[in-house]
Amino acid sequence: MMIIMKPNATPQQVENVITHIKAAGLSVHLSQGVETTIIGAIGETHNIPTERFEVLDGVQEVQRITKPYKLASRQFHPENSVFPLDGFTVGGEEIAIIAGPCSVEGRTQIIETAHAVKEAGACALRGGVFKPRTSPYSFQGLGEEGLEYLAEAREQTGLPIVVEIMSQTQLDLMVRYVDVLQIGARNMQNFNLLRAVGETRTPVLLKRGLSATIEELLMSAEYVLSGGNKQVMLCERGIRTFETATRNTTDINAIPVLKSLTHLPVILDPSHATGHADYVAAIARAAIAAGADGLIVEVHPDPANAASDGKQSLKPEAFANMVKQVGQIAQIMERRLAVVHGAYTPHGWA
């Protein structure tokens, strides 16, 4: 349930409510806005009467949260979640563009790509080092060596890095290197992994499963949020349908639906959604027009010889044109493309 405090509620009154929530065997999630403080009482609340909290000093109103995803619900957190991501913000007026190759194949490749996407307008660099491939005989990634190359690319360009994590056993290694942990579509309901990243304070990019419903995506986000990690981005990357003309079917509807149901930022992946470089820019434009908070796009200097997903990867020149187009749409939507401010050093951000 959701306990809304009076505008003039004192810190002592807030703390008293929290004490009563814990005494009821519930977990506490505090959301303090400019004018309103909302305290979430999360757990089995259906047998707990609202009057138990309504009588406490400083309480204005108690509401039951009707959605199964409590913390991700806009009912619990009416305003958009906006959080910093190493030089820019996600979820506000800025639109984040994350770009890079499907796989880190070597030092020269990732550093060359990092400089190219930064020059074109990207604000973060993506690159896979542990690759979840359909075939066990396909390229599986460079592992920690790839992370070292990504870290070097970040030092040279200032771009924070977004990397997919496959297992909770990789977590200690990944948090030493990466700025955003990506949960891939195949791991969207890997609940042990979701719990593990929820215990970190590293931002998470959570991709929708191949056949997952929007509610299932939000319930997966709930696992991360319930661990205390509030920096979660949702990613629509296309779903599996009967259509075979494209790799997946872009659920463009998901963007406004998610924006109405949740306060979390929504990112779209036009590369996996289409599976074909020729269609990426069109879907990217549509995503921004539909209200997406960002894009994650695959870019490779030589797609024909890419180790993975070359067919859907843009060349740097095509990516630069796409950024110009989505930037124009962003202006129409009274938003702007995010730009990394400052420079990354081994000791942090300047």
User: Are both 47 and 96 inside the same structural domain?
Assistant: no
Task: For residues 37-58, give the mean pLDDT.
Answer: 92
- What number is the average pLDDT over the span 298-326? 96
* Mean pLDDT (whole number) for 54-68: 93
Per-residue model confidence (pLDDT) at position 348: 44
150 in the same domain as 19? no
35 pLDDT band, cuts 50/70/90, is confident
Q: Are residues 240 and 186 in the same domain?
A: yes
Q: Which residues, 6+ apart, have CB-to-CB distance to 136 below 8 Å?
A: none
Given the DSSP bridges, would you call strands 94-100 and 124-126 parallel, antiparallel or unpaired?
A: parallel
What integer pLDDT is reported at residue 131 of this predicted model?
67
Which CATH number covers residue 15? 3.30.70.1140
Tell me what pLDDT residue 141 has: 77
Determine contact, residues 246/270, Cβ cutoff 8 Å: no
On whether residue 76 sits in a domain, the answer given is no
**Which band of pLDDT confidence, cut at 50, 70 and 90, is reported for residue 132?**
low
The answer to whether residues 34 and 124 belong to one domain is: no
On whether both 245 and 292 belong to a single domain, the answer is yes
The residue-averaged pLDDT of 111-125 equals 97
Indicate whether 344 belongs to any domain.
Answer: yes
For 21, the domain range is 2-63
Q: Cα separation of 328 and 288, whole Å?
A: 10
Residues 55 and 162 in one domain: no
Distance (Å, whole) CA 184 – CA 102: 12
pLDDT number for residue 347: 39
> Residue 346 pLDDT more than 50?
no
Q: Is the pLDDT of residue 304 over 80?
A: yes
Query: Would 333 be classed as within a structural domain?
Result: yes
Q: What is the mean pLDDT of residues 214-238?
A: 97
High-pLDDT (> 70) share of the chain, %: 94
Q: Does residue 166 sit in the same domain as residue 36? A: no
Whether the predicted pLDDT of 158 surpasses 70:
yes
Tokens standing for 287? Answer: 């995503």
Can you give the CATH number for the domain in which 259 is found? 3.20.20.70
- Two structure tokens written together for 164: 């997919």
Picking from 32, 63, 94, the residue at the C-terminal end of a domain is 63
Q: Residue 232: CB partners within 8 Å, gap ≥ 6?
A: 72, 81, 203, 204, 206, 221, 224, 225, 264
Same domain, 203 and 257: yes
Mark which of 35, 63, 91 sits at the end of a domain. 63
Q: What mean pLDDT do residues 215-227 have?
A: 97
Q: Is 78 part of a structural domain of the chain? A: no
Whether 68 maps to a domain, the answer reads no
Is residue 131 in a domain?
yes
Asked if the model's pLDDT at residue 341 lies above 70, the reply is no
Assigned domain for 71 exists: no
73 in any annotated domain: no
- Tell me: do 48 and 113 sit in the same domain: no
| Cα dihedral across residues 121, 207, 271, 161: positive or negative | positive
Q: How far apart are CA 337 and CA 88, in angstroms?
A: 10
What is the model's pLDDT at position 137? 61
Q: Is residue 58 scored above 50 in pLDDT?
A: yes
Dihedral class, residue 24 (left if φ above 0, else alpha if ψ from -120 to 50, else beta) = alpha
Whether 183 and 278 share a structural domain:
yes
Domain count, the chain: 2
22 and 131 in a single domain? The answer is no
* Predicted local distance difference test score (pLDDT) of residue 43: 86
**Where among 34, 63, 92 does a domain terminate?**
63
The mean predicted confidence, pLDDT, of the chain is 93
User: For 249-260, what is each residue's pLDDT tens digit?
Assistant: 999 999 999 999
Alpha helices in the chain (DSSP H): 11-23, 51-54, 107-120, 144-157, 171-177, 191-198, 214-226, 254-261, 270-274, 277-290, 316-332
Global pTM value: 0.90
Q: Give the position of tokens 């030089």.
A: 87
At residue 51 the predicted structure's pLDDT band, cuts being 50, 70 and 90, is very high
Same domain? 201 vs 320: yes
